[in-house]
Amino acid sequence: MRKVKMNVQGRVQGVGFRYTTKMVADRLGIYGTVKNEEDGSVTIEAAGEDKQVESFIKEIKDSPSPAGRVTYLDLQDNPWMDARTSFDVIY
């Protein structure tokens, strides 16, 4: 089980980024959260099997939203992430 925290920057707010991130997470069996930040970035916490998390990270880097564009992604392993049973959009 791998747990990561990402801060994503670029055109990631107002383009359906959180919604499409949840779609990708649900398809890959990833648990966690996605939320907008006041600085215009998006924070994602994700947990799953190593291979699934790697696939998830790749899809986030490529922007799951067709109208979005990721220009920077800060990725950190986060072993202290709370256990979750779903992937949720935080408003």
11: annotated active-site residue:
no
18: annotated active-site residue:
yes
Q: Please provide the size of the chain in residues.
A: 91
Catalytic residue among 11, 27, 36, 69: 36
Q: 50-61 and 17-28 helices cross at what angle (nearest 10)? A: 160
Show Cβ contacts of residue 67 under 8 Å, excluding neighbours closer than 6 positions.
Answer: 11, 15, 16
Contact between residue 11 and residue 30 where contact means Cβ atoms under 8 Å apart: no
- Residues serving a catalytic function are 18, 36
